[in-house]
Each structure stands twice: as structure tokens, then as C-alpha cells.
Amino acid sequence: MPQTPFTALTAAGVPLDSANVDTDQVIPARFLKYPRSDTSWTFLFHDLRLRPDGSENPDFILSNEPYKSKGRILVADRNFGCGSSRESAVYALQDWGFRAVIAPSFGDIFFNNSFKNGFLPIRLRTEVCNALRQDLHDAPGAEIAIDVEAQTVTGPDGVAHSFELDDFRKYCLTRGLDDIDFTLEQTRKIDAFERDNRPSWLGHNA
């Protein structure tokens, strides 16, 4: 879907300390059947954020202010978003208000899904992520600055760290573009591929 262009953002960070936070934690499976709506944000980290009786679990970072209302950038630990391919994990983060997540590593499918929705996953070294999370614990509400064009993340300490971002994703992200439109412009190449490159034994089933 076409997105709001994402060029830069300065906002409060939220430190999430566990490794291997899978997409079942980001949004439990029982919520996947609902279409995206005004209330989808309530699904985010549902079973971590809320106790079985529905009350807020104060031990979970996102239940606490100022993280709860001001956090727009999540800083996580290694292998964030591993597990299920559910794109709703990205929707839930966005619908809550997050626009980016920083971690040492990500689940591959989550990483891809993020870009498709104008949501930015940023890989930074483990030590940098650890230090950022520490800063955010020490000064709740502290801000992180992301510059997509320059490909940098600047922590509360003012130190800038660069991150990798391929040109295509950057192009789509900064313009809010949908890659389906882009691909449809290549239709002639796809036609040619289908004509010349498909194995004959597949019996080209149209």
C-alpha cells in the first residue's frame, strides 16, 4: 500500500530488553483474524503488556510512562521479529505509534514486511543497541534521531551511528511508494520471462 513518506524522525525511544522477541509476542495469533482497524493498536504485545485479568502489567516497559504515550522508536535485542510471517506484527507496531525498530538482528520475514509498510527496521551493532537501551532506561523519554537520507541514528548521547539501507528500499521509503506499481511497470520483462525462461515440462498452466 502507498505509505506516508519517511525521511527523518526524532522521537522518544523504548528499550525492550529480551532477545528472540517473536511475532507471536508482538501480536498473539488469536488477533490475526480481525481486519486492521482503529482498535488494532490494543493487540500490540498484548500478553506481555496485560495481565490475564486485563489489567496493565507494570513490569512490561510499554505499560509505563513516558514510554507508553511518547515512544515512537523501539530499541530491541537480537533476533527481533523472529517466527511467524504475520505482517500484522508490523501493523500492530505502527498502529500503536511506532515508526521504527532498532536491533542487532531481525527475523528475515519481519524485516522484509516492515519496508512494505513504510516501517523502518534498523540494524546496529549489539554494543550500540545495548548502550542505547541503557540510555533509554537511565533517562526515560530520551529521544533518538533517525535520518533516513543520511542513514544515521543519533542516540541521546549525541553520537551518530550509520546503518545500511539499500537504494530501492530507501527510494520507496522516502517517497512513500508502493512496489507493486513499480513492478507493474516491468510487465514487459515479466511477459518475456514467461515466454522464454520457464521449463517446458511445467506445461505452462497459464
Partner 1 sequence: MPQTQFEKIWDAHVIESRPDGQTLLYVDRHLLHEGSFHGFEYLDQRDMPVRRPGQSFAVADHYIPTTSRNLADTEDDVARSLITRLEANAAKHGVSHFGIDSESQGIVHVIGPEQGITLPGLLIVCGDSHTATHGALGAYAFGIGASEVTHVLATQTLWQMKPKAMRISVDGARPAGVTGKDVILAIIAQISAAGATGHAVEFAGSLIRDLSMEERMTVCNMTIEAGGRAGMIAPDEKTFAYIKGRRYAPDGEDWDKALAAWLALPSDEGAVFDAEVTLDGTAIRPMLTWGTSPEQAAALADTVPDPANAPNAEKAEEWRDALDYIGLTAGQHFRDVAVDKVFIGSCTNSRIEDLRAAAAVLKGRQVQVKQALVSPGSFLVKKQAEAEGLDRIFKEAGFEWRESGCSMCVGMNGDLAERGERVASTSNRNFRGRQGQGVRTHLVSPASAAAAAITGHFADPRDFA
**103 versus 144: smaller Cβ distance to partner 1:** 103
| Contact status: 196 vs partner 1 (CB under 8 A) | no
Q: Which of 5, 10, 29, 149 binds partner 1 (CB under 8 A)?
A: 29
**Contacts (Cβ under 8 Å, ≥6 apart) of 181:** none
Cell 513516558 belongs to: 66
**112 versus 154: smaller Cβ distance to partner 1:** 112
| Contact status: 40 vs partner 1 (CB under 8 A) | no
**41 versus 141: smaller Cβ distance to partner 1:** 41
| H-assigned helices in the chain | 23-26, 46-49, 67-70, 88-96, 108-116, 126-138, 167-175, 179-184, 187-196
- Enter the C-alpha cell of residue 76: 530491541
Map the footprint of partner 1 across residues 110-129, applying CB under 8 A: 110, 112-113, 116-117
Least CB distance to partner 1 at residue 61 (A): 15
What Rg, from alpha-carbon coordinates, does the chain have?
19
The residue among 44, 24, 41, 21 whose CA lies nearest residue 84 is 24
Residue 5 CB neighbours (<10 A): 13
| Contact status: 82 vs partner 1 (CB under 8 A) | yes
Binding region for partner 1 (CB under 8 A) out of 17-25, 55-63, 143-151, 152-160 = 17-25
Q: Is there a contact between 174 and 151 (Cβ–Cβ < 8 Å)? A: no
DSSP 179: H
Map the footprint of partner 1 across residues 155-184, applying CB under 8 A: 166-169, 179-180, 183-184
Measured CA to CA, the distance from residue 174 to residue 166 in angstroms comes to 12
Least CB distance to partner 1 at residue 123 (A): 10
| Contact status: 10 vs partner 1 (CB under 8 A) | no
Site residues, partner 1 (CB under 8 A)? 1, 18-20, 22, 24-25, 28-30, 32-35, 47, 52, 78-79, 82-88, 90, 105-110, 112-113, 116-117, 166-169, 179-180, 183-184, 186-187, 189-190, 193-194, 197-203, 205-206
